Structure 1
Amino acid sequence: MNLHQVYVLLFAGAVVLLVSVAAARLAYRVGLPVLLAFLGVGLLLGADGLGLRFDNAGAAEALGTAALAVILVEGGLSTELPVIRPVLVPAAILATVGVLISVAVVAVAAHVVLHAPWRLALLLGAIVSSTDAAAVFSVLRALPLPRRLTGLLEAESGLNDAPSVILVVALSTATLRLDSAPRLLGDLVYELAAGTLIGLAVGTAGVWLLRRLSLVTAGLHSLAMVATGILGFATAGVAHASGFLAAYVASLILGNAGLPHRRTTRAVAEGLGWIAQISLFIMLGLLATPHELRASVLPALVVGIVLVLVARPLAVLLCLTPFRVPLREQAFLSLAGLRGAVPIVLATIPIVARVPGGRPLLNLVFVVVVVFIVLQAPALPALARRLRLVPAVAGRELRVSAAPLDMIDAELIELTIDPGSRLHGVEIFELRLPEPCAVTLVVRDGNAFVPQPTTRLVTGDQLLVVATTAKRAAAERRLRAVARAGRLAAWYGETGDPDSPAPEREGDQSKKRAR
């Protein structure tokens, strides 16, 4: 490759990346998942579009697995352990037993309704039963769901890739016999247990090392943390354990160890995660041939309906009822099991293993993913409101992002006063933030100023609040309480608990009676 070809390659890559970002923006504005925009770019570039052919299933499997590892590392680094710790056990059961239940239901339906051979039916069930971390992280984090529900979804999506990968590989490479079931179960237990232990070991060792390296440059520190997560993935792969599980566990430990440069680390990991997602979905779009997909539409609708309306709800019901998860949360979890890149990548494994019917299986999975993410993802906000899992008036909730000030063990909370928020009209001193937290800056109509105790807040104001790490949670609860119930939040019994709905004030009840 000469220098001119390098320039052309870089030019093409930059143009594709910019087009993907623009397509993602358009998809966001029309209410579609941005991941579909990247998939659309791949289809546009592919055989039925601009004619760029890519049909190497082996390369797709290898590159897709690497991209998924990066996505899981980013997810682990950005997930808060206090959020998912209370739900780790139910999430782990849903990610293992729930996957097996879903596989069984989909396989029976595919065999009975579509007359698929048992091997292909089980492969189909194993491929589509895993929720997708990229889809869950990108779609659900925009919803102000209760922390327990968000943690359960994120933990499940980070953990359930491993059982699906193990099942798909085993079904693709082994002869299907009844006496092979104990061996398959043993392999599943080993890979999950070894992957977890390797992730714990690599994550703990990474924390120990990074604390002693004391890297002053935030960029190098961030790269070292991402590399440690990838190290967990590769180490587990060498040991024939679950690399996906190891990468997620190691990154989860690193992201919650209180290491410095947390904001930069998450920004770097998020950037790498977006690059991985864009590359992955464009590649999967190139792999598909749209004119071959028409024959798969009807079978895909059958499989998708069984998966979304029968298999997933049954798995959620059986796995989470013993943990007393409310039925309305179970209903949301049943329909929030988004599929994305993972099933399509898994569908390349039977092709590489030369399983008969592998290519039609890939087409079927592709249609299932595209059709049902188009139908499911845009409906989730309305469903969450219908089930009363998010506030009916968004302005009464608090949308914040925190940036750490590592040198003084403090964090910067940034928030915007939305329409409907009862922070409107409140004076700074009436916030009564816990000591030593303070509102340090207000941005109003593009102008920034340092507020006085009597400064009155108005809709549209942007606030910067400095809080110590120890008091950050208390400060956020107080701000959330005032945003929901106003300056007399304590009088109305509002504590700012993110997992409880805002209590209705007497004025709100009067308005409802008047209507």
Structure 2
Amino acid sequence: MPLAAEPATGFTLADLSSLLLIGSLTLILCAMAVRLSTKTGLPSLLLYLGVGMLVDAAGIEFRNDQLTLVLGYAALVLILIEGGLTTSWGGIRRSVAPAALLSTVGVVVSVAVVALAGRFLLGWSWNTALLVAAIVSSTDAAAVFSVLRAVPLPRRLTGMLEAESGFNDAPVVILVTALATRAADPANGVGPLELVGLAILELSVGALIGLAVGYVGGGLMRRAAAGSSGLFSIGVVAVAVLAYAVATSVHASGFIATYLAALVLGNLRLPHQAAVHAFGSALGWLAQIGLFVLLGMLAAPSGFAAQIIPALVIGTVLLVLARPLSVLASVSWFGFSVREQAFLSWAGLRGAVPVVLATVPVIARAPNVEWIFELVFVLVVIFTLVQAPTLPWLAQRLGVIEEHRARSLTMETTPLEELGASMMHVAIGRRSHLHGVAIFELRLPDGSDITLILRDGKTIVPTPRTRLLHGDQLLLVTTDAQRARTEELLRAVSKGGRLAEWSTADTPRRLRKRPGRPASPA
């Protein structure tokens, strides 16, 4: 029986072809833009925002705040999942307490300082000043993670920034939502004490749900591990998404639940770990591209000029006063030096999160807040241009650069998983004391060895007497049991030289007392 012809309504195959054409070209352009981002030091978010504005200028208009918020939250979930899956618990363990304080107490300090500036320097009402201050108080996970890939920071600072960017979205979302609701209907707004209690409850319940879903889901995935690494990766990401859905269903913080679930999953040593990391990273990149292009399309350049001065005022107060005070109030208790605190103050990058949250007041129907989106957009662009390219230079000047850099290599290598081993890439910086040290002098623990050296574009298969030089890139294979000890040893020698193992000042006691290899090769 022939099918009857139906009148063409809604989305058609022709529309699909056009959408796929535009979407694929946009993705290709954004993928190529990463190379430019690497060379210039600018976070790729600026390039993606520019692509979105170009798409809008080409006549493809997008002006839906509600859909932007929904898609923005979905993208932030995927970005947080990537951050959690690829973050080592050992790297952030000592930073969890200061990062939690910076994400809560630090946010309150930042909001208070910026709100005072908005009220008395720009003449805004208290409701508007508090709302804008809350929106711009969150650092952006995508922007921070992109910078961390380029700056060889010590584990202490890297862990601090990773943990903060994973934690602070949740309290800021609660604060912005409450303030936007209060601005729309002051009679039904919550008071300060009620807001604090609500935030503590939502964050606590969300954290418990995230940890529980991560552990239980990870255990189930381990038992039901399929032969396909791709299918297994989908299941792991679905568990982290489930944490968000469960938490929001009971009115708890879905963002903290998602990040903690992904953090647990990423540190359970599940099968196909390399494939899971690669899949999570791909989803994170796709979410970043889609979100930033969408925000670029939503922006109205005609409104930028009127917001340049307010953006400069708020951004300057945020950068030189509010952020340093929030860092001082939160992390000075944990032994961070003045130089480390100065770097943390400058490294508070803003990105997609504030721009997405700028749509919340509009959706809540708060009066006279349409201009906040343009203000936040301009602020993010200007201060990303100021902060991001200068971070490597500032880290070098403050002396917080780690002169050797070790990171895991994600490879789909079943034999390595079966052997309980992993591969690491180590880069030797210009001031590292690894320079001139022979491999046998490192006294690497049993189960660890340097298998390949890349030097001046040439590969070298080293012998025990091969000496390491500045600029070398090493491929190191180590058992999982010896990985932490190997990293500590490399860090100690890079800082103190070949005698660092016997130094009481530079090396942890457990490393100094361990039995080492013979001082010379057999």
Q: Same fold (TM over 0.5)?
A: yes
For the 8 Å contact 1:120–1:357, the answer to whether it is kept is: no
The answer to whether the aligner puts 1:91 opposite 2:99 as a matched pair is yes
Distance 1:332 1:451 in 2: 37
Instruction: Check if 1:160 corresponds to 2:168.
Output: yes
* Residues 305-316 of structure 1 mapped to structure 2, 5 A cutoff: 305-316=316-327
Distance 1:98 1:452, change over 3 A: closer
Residues 53/207 of structure 1: CA separation in 2 closer, same or farther (3 Å cut): same
1:8 aligns with 2:15: no
Distance 2:55 2:330 in 1: 42
2:236 paired residue among 211, 225, 230: 225
* Residue matched to 1:343: 354
Query: Aligned residue for 1:502?
Result: none
Aligned equivalents of 1:205, 1:221: Cα separation in 2: 15
**Could you say what the CA RMSD is over the residues aligned between the two structures, in angstroms?**
2.5
SS at structure 1 position matched to 2:481: coil
Q: Is the 8 A contact 1:25 1:34 kept in 2?
A: no
Q: Report the alpha carbon displacement of residue 473 of structure 1 after superposing the two structures with TM.
A: 2.2
Q: Aligned to 2:60, which of 52, 57, 76? A: 52
Tell me the number of residue pairs that the alignment of Structure 1 and Structure 2 aligns: 491
> Are 2:408 and 2:422, in contact at CA under 8 Å, matched by a contact in 1?
no
Q: Find the aligned partners of 2:204 and 2:170 in 1 and give their Cα distance.
A: 11
Report the counterpart of residue 255 of structure 2 in structure 1. 244
The Cα of 1:319 is off from its aligned counterpart by 2.0
Secondary structure (helix, strand or coil) at the match of 1:143 reads: coil
Counterpart residue number, 2:475: 464
Q: Structure 2 CA distance, aligned partners of 1:417 and 1:106?
A: 41
* 1:38 match: 48
Q: Name the structure 2 match of 1:415.
A: 426
- Structure 2 vs 1, CA of residues 494 and 317 (structure 1 numbering), >3 Å: closer, same or farther? closer
Give the aligned residue type for 2:350. Answer: R
Distance 1:176 1:324 in 2: 42
Letter in 1 for 2:384: I
Cα distance in structure 1, aligned partners of 2:447 and 2:291: 46
Q: Following TM superposition, by how much is the alpha carbon of 1:493 offset from its aligned partner in structure 2, in angstroms? A: 7.4
Q: Which consecutive residues of structure 2, in runs of 5 or more, have no partner in the other structure?
A: 1-10, 509-522
Distance 1:15 1:281 in 2: 15
| Secondary structure at the counterpart of residue 358 of structure 1 | coil
* Equivalent residue, structure 1, for 2:112: 104
Counterpart pick for 2:338 among 320, 323, 327: 327
- Which residue identity does 2:223 align to in structure 1? R
SS of 1:389's equivalent?
coil
Distance 1:484 1:113, change over 3 A: closer
Superposed CA offset, 1:228-274 (max 9, x none): 11111111111111111110111111111121222221111111101
Deviation at 1:285, TM superposition (A): 0.4
Gap regions ≥5 residues in structure 1: 498-515
Q: Deviations over 1:37-73 (max 9, x none)?
A: 1111111111xx2122111000100000100010011
SS at match of 1:374: helix
Task: Give CA deviations for 1:463-489 in whole Å, capped at 9, x if unaligned.
Answer: 432211111122233444555666555
Partner of 1:397: 404
Please list the CA deviations of residues 155-184 of structure 1 after superposition, one character each: whole Å capped at 9, or x if unmatched: 111111111111111122233369733332
Q: Secondary structure at the match of 2:61?
A: coil
- Counterpart CA distance in 1 for 2:469 and 2:394 is 31
Partner of 1:198: 209
Cα distance in 1 between the residues matched to 2:223 and 2:262: 18
Q: Partners of 2:495 and 2:316 in 1: how far apart?
A: 39
What is the identity, as a one-letter code, of the residue corresponding to 1:432?
Answer: R
Are residues 335 and 348 of structure 1, via their aligned partners in 2, closer, same or farther at CA, if it must alter by over 3 Å? Answer: same
SS in 2 for 1:398: strand
Residue 118 (structure 1) aligned to one of 123, 126, 129: 126
Alignment counterpart, residue 25 of structure 1, candidates 35, 44, 64: 35
Aligned-pair CA distance for 1:429: 3.4
385, 392, 396: which one aligns with 1:381 = 392
Separation (CA, whole Å) in 1 of partners of 2:481 and 2:461: 24
Alignment of 1:283 onto 2:294:
yes
Q: CA contact under 8 A between 1:485 and 1:494: conserved in structure 2?
A: no
User: Normalised by the size of structure 2, how large is the TM-score?
Assistant: 0.87
AA partner of residue 398 (structure 1): R
**Secondary structure, in 3 states, of the residue corresponding to 2:42?**
coil
Task: Please say if residues 451 and 477 of structure 2, whose CA atoms lie closer than 8 Å, have aligned partners that are also in contact.
Answer: yes
Choose from 83, 87, 90 the match for 1:82.
Answer: 90
Distance change (3 Å), C-alpha of 1:493 and 1:378 = farther
Does the C-alpha gap of structure 1 residues 460 and 184 become closer, same or farther in structure 2, counting only changes over 3 Å? Answer: closer
Partner of 1:513: none
| 1:266 and 2:273 aligned | no
Secondary structure of the residue aligned to 1:55 is: coil
SS in 2 for 1:471: helix
Please name the residue that 1:301 is paired with.
312
- 1:329 and 1:215 map into 2 onto residues whose CA distance is 45
Give the residue type in structure 2 aligned to 1:215.
A
Distance (whole Å) between structure 2 residues aligned to residue 421 and residue 89 of structure 1: 30
Do the aligned partners of residues 424 and 145 (structure 1) sit closer, same or farther apart at CA in structure 2, a change above 3 Å counting? closer
State TM-score, norm by structure 1.
0.88
Q: 2:422 touches 2:480 (CA, 8 Å); kept in 1?
A: yes
Q: Secondary structure at the match of 2:405?
A: coil
